[in-house]
Structure 1
C-alpha cells in the first residue's frame, strides 16, 4: 500500500500513450487541474488563428450567451421523434419499428406513480428478487422512496435473497468501518508521500463538489466525502483517486441520506444524524461506488484508455447518425475529446441540473455491465439535442456552447427524450458494431 502512485490526470494528458500528438496542432490543451481548479475535462482551448480567444472556463462561471429559449426547448421536444426517424430512414430501418420503440420507452417513462409503485412493490416483495425484471422497471425511473433499495440490489451490494440481505449489509458496513480505521484514521506519519498528496487533493476537491447545491458545502458532508474517496482510492490502487470520482459519489450520498432525512435537500443537515447512521450511509456509498466502477476501471487507470475508446466510438456514432454535424465540427477543427472527456469522466453530472441526476442514474444502474457502451448512445443523444444549433456555430461559438450547455431549465421531460433516443439508437446500432469503423 505504501507504493501507491496517484494517477495524475494532467500527467495523463501529457503522456505519449495518451496520443495527444494525434490532435490538431492548432490547439493548446491543458486540463484545468492546476492552481486548485480541478475540473476534469474542462479544457483550455486556444486557436492560433484567433488570438483573442484565450479565455478559460471554470465550473461556476456564469453569464454564457447561450440560454435555452422557449423556441429551442420546443424544438428539442417536438422534433426528437422526427429527427430519429429521419436518421433511421437513411439506414433503411422501418419507421414503424422506431415509432413502437419511441412509444414504449416514452409511455413507460410517463406511467402513473401508482402504477409504477405497484410494479416495483410486486417485484421487491418476493423472497428472491428477479433482477432482470427489476432492471426493466428501473430503466424508466424508480420511485423516490424505493430508490435506495433498488440501487443496492441492482449493483449487487445487497443480495437478491431477502433472508440474507440484513446480515450482508451489516457485515459490509462493519468492514467499511474497519477500512476507515485502518487507512483514514491514522496520522500522516504512517502514510507514504503519495498517500499524503492524494489525501490533500481529495480535501481540495470535496468543497468543489456540486458547488451549486448548498447541502454539499456543509463541513460534515465534505468530511464524509473525504473518508469515502480516500478509503476507496487506497483500496483500489490500480486507479487511485482521479478528479471526477468525487462527483460520482454524490448521487449515492443523496439517495442513502434520504432514508434518514425528510423533506427537500435544501433543508437537510448532516448534524441531525447520529455517527452510526452516518457510518452506514458512508459504507453504502463506498460499496455502491466500488460495484459501479468495477466494469469501468479503465476509465480511471493511467491515461484513462477506457474513456479514449468510448470517445472514438461516440465520434463515429455521431458521424453515422448526423453526418452534417460531424462534418461541421471537423471542419471547425473541434475534437470530440476536448468536450466529451468530462462527460465520460463525470457521467454528465456536471452537465445537467443536479435534481435530474438520480433519475439519470436509474437508467445507468439498470444497464449493469452494459453501461460503458450505452453511455456512447446517451451522450450522442445528449449532444444531438442541439443538432441545428451546432451546425450554425464557428469554432469559438462551439467551444462556448459546449462548455455551457443550456440545460439549466431542464425538467424530467427533456431527460426522457435524451434517454428515449439513446435507447432507439442502441436498438438499431448495437448489433452492427461495424458502424464504428470507417
Structure 2
C-alpha cells in the first residue's frame, strides 16, 4: 500500500515539473508567439482591429496593457465594430495618466483561443459597412463642437481619416487651425494673407536683391521640383511646380538655420494633394490647377506652407547642418532591428551594409519615395496623429517596414541588398500591406518604448 502511494506521489511530482517546464518560455519565443497571435487575428483582414499586446498572455490573463499614447486601430474606410470601439472609449479620458491600464481585448496563448478570437474578429468585419456611419459620426461629433478636443481627434485620426474630412483634420492636428471653431475662420484668413506678404517679400523679387546663397538655393529648388514624385503626372504640370517652388523658396529663406534641403520638396506633396482635394474631384492624375481661380490656389499654397512649417518645427535637427536628428534615429533603428530580428541584423552587419546607406532617405523623405503615392496620405494620417512623438515613432514604423522582407534580406549579398533596398517591391501594395506595417510598429512601440533597457546591448 505504501509503495503504491509513493509511486502515485512521484507521478504527480513529475507531472507538476513537466507543466512548470512547459510554462517557461524565452523572451524571444514569447515575442514570436505574440506576433503570431497578432497576425492570426489580422489574417484575412484588410485593416487591423484593436488588439492588446502582452508578452505573457497566459500569466497576465487578468491584466491589460495600454500603449504610451493610447493609440487604437480601426479602419479609415471600412470601420470596426461598435463592440470593439466600446472597450476603449471609457479609457480615453485617462490617457495622460502615467500608470497605464487597458486598451483592448486580451490575446490567449493557446491555438484554439486564437482561432476563436480570429473568428470573432472576422464576424465583426462582415458588418463593416454598417460601422462606416458609426466611425464617421465619431469624427463629426469631435469636429462639430465649439472646441475640438485634440487628444480625441488624434485617437480617431491615428487609424485613418475619411477622405473628405482630411483637410480640416490635418489643419487641426498640426495646430495650424485653432481648436476653437469661433476663431478658426479668422485665423486662417490672417495666415493666408501673411503667406501672400511672405511671397511678395522673399519670392517675388529680382535676383539683384538676393544673396548668392539664396540664388544658389533657388536654382537647386528649380532643379528638384520637376523631380518631385515623377511617377504622378499631376506633379509634372508647370503650374504645380511653380506652386512648389514658391512654397519651398519662401520656407527656406524664412528658416535660415536649415535652409532648403533636398527631400523637403517631397514633404510638401501630401499637403498639396489633400488641400487640393477640397476643390478637385476624381483621380489625382486627372486634376488640373488651371481649373481653379487664383484665390483658391493661393489659399491652398498658404495651407501647404504653414502645415509644412508646423511639421518641420517638430524635427528641425533633421534638416540642419549634417542632419544630426536623422543620424540619431538611424542609429536607434539599427538597435531596434537588432533586438527584434537578430538574424537580419547580423546578416546585414556581416555583409558590411550600414543602415545609413538606405534608411537615411527613409527618414529624410518619410517613406514618400518608398511606397505608392496613393498610400501616402493614409500613412500621414498616423504621422500627424503622433504629434510631437512622431520622430521616435518613425523608428518603429521603419523597422516594421524593413522587416517586411526579413526572409528575403537574409539571402542577399551586399550588392543585392543595396539594390533591393533602393528599389523595394512595393509597387503593388494596397492598404492591407500598409496597415500591417503600422500594426507591427504599434506592437513593438508598446513593447519596447517604455522599456529602453530592452534595447540595450
Fold similarity call, TM over 0.5? yes
Unaligned stretches of 5+ residues in structure 1 = 1-78
1:326 to 342, 345, 348: 345
| 2:177 maps to 1:167 | no
Match of 1:429 in 2: 448
2:247 to 193, 216, 228: 228
Match of 2:108 in 1: none
Q: CA deviation at 1:101?
A: 8.5
Q: CA deviation at 1:403?
A: 0.8
* Residues 317 and 324 in structure 2, CA contact (< 8 A), matched pair in contact too: yes
* Residues 105 and 420 in structure 1, CA contact (< 8 A), matched pair in contact too: no
| 2:342 maps to 1:311 | no
| 2:402 maps to 1:357 | no
Q: Distance in 2 between matches of 1:358 and 1:94?
A: 35
Q: 1:334-388: CA deviations, max 9, x gaps?
A: 0001000000000000000000000000000000000000000000000000111
Q: Distance in 2 between matches of 1:108 and 1:218?
A: 33
2:409 to 390, 413, 436: 390
Match of 1:33 in 2: none
* Residues 381 and 421 in structure 1, CA contact (< 8 A), matched pair in contact too: yes
Q: CA deviation at 1:113?
A: 3.0
Match of 2:435 in 1: 416
Q: Distance in 2 between matches of 1:435 and 1:191?
A: 52
Tell me the SS of whatever aligns to 2:314. helix
| 2:293 maps to 1:274 | yes
- Indicate how the Cα distance of structure 1 residues 264 and 376 shifts in structure 2: closer, same or farther if over 3 A, else same: same
Q: CA deviation at 1:117?
A: 1.2
Match of 1:82 in 2: 36
Q: Distance in 2 between matches of 1:385 and 1:80?
A: 17
- Indicate how the Cα distance of structure 1 residues 395 and 83 shifts in structure 2: closer, same or farther if over 3 A, else same: farther
Match of 2:140 in 1: 121
Q: Distance in 2 between matches of 1:313 and 1:85?
A: 25
* Residues 247 and 346 in structure 1, CA contact (< 8 A), matched pair in contact too: yes
Q: CA deviation at 1:138?
A: 0.2
Q: CA deviation at 1:85?
A: 8.1
| 2:176 maps to 1:140 | no
Unaligned stretches of 5+ residues in structure 2 = 1-32, 41-52, 80-130
Q: CA deviation at 1:395?
A: 1.0
The 5-angstrom pairing of residues 90-105 of structure 1 reads 93-95=55-57, 105=72
2:169 to 150, 154, 175: 150
Tell me the SS of whatever aligns to 1:232. helix
Q: CA deviation at 1:212?
A: 0.2
Q: 1:148-188: CA deviations, max 9, x gaps?
A: 00000000000000000000000000000000000000000
Tell me the SS of whatever aligns to 1:239. coil
1:302 to 312, 321, 331: 321
* Residues 74 and 159 in structure 2, CA contact (< 8 A), matched pair in contact too: no
- For these two proteins, the number of residue pairs brought into alignment is 355
Q: Distance in 2 between matches of 1:100 and 1:107?
A: 18
Q: Distance in 2 between matches of 1:279 and 1:108?
A: 33
Tell me the SS of whatever aligns to 2:183. helix
* Residues 256 and 285 in structure 1, CA contact (< 8 A), matched pair in contact too: yes
Higher relative contact order (Cα pairs below 8 Å, separated by 6+ residues): 1
TM-score for the superposition, normalised by structure 2: 0.75
Q: Distance in 2 between matches of 1:382 and 1:184?
A: 38
Q: CA deviation at 1:295?
A: 1.0
Match of 2:354 in 1: 335
Tell me the SS of whatever aligns to 2:268. helix
Q: Distance in 2 between matches of 1:175 and 1:142?
A: 29
Deviation larger for 113-122 or 238-247: 113-122
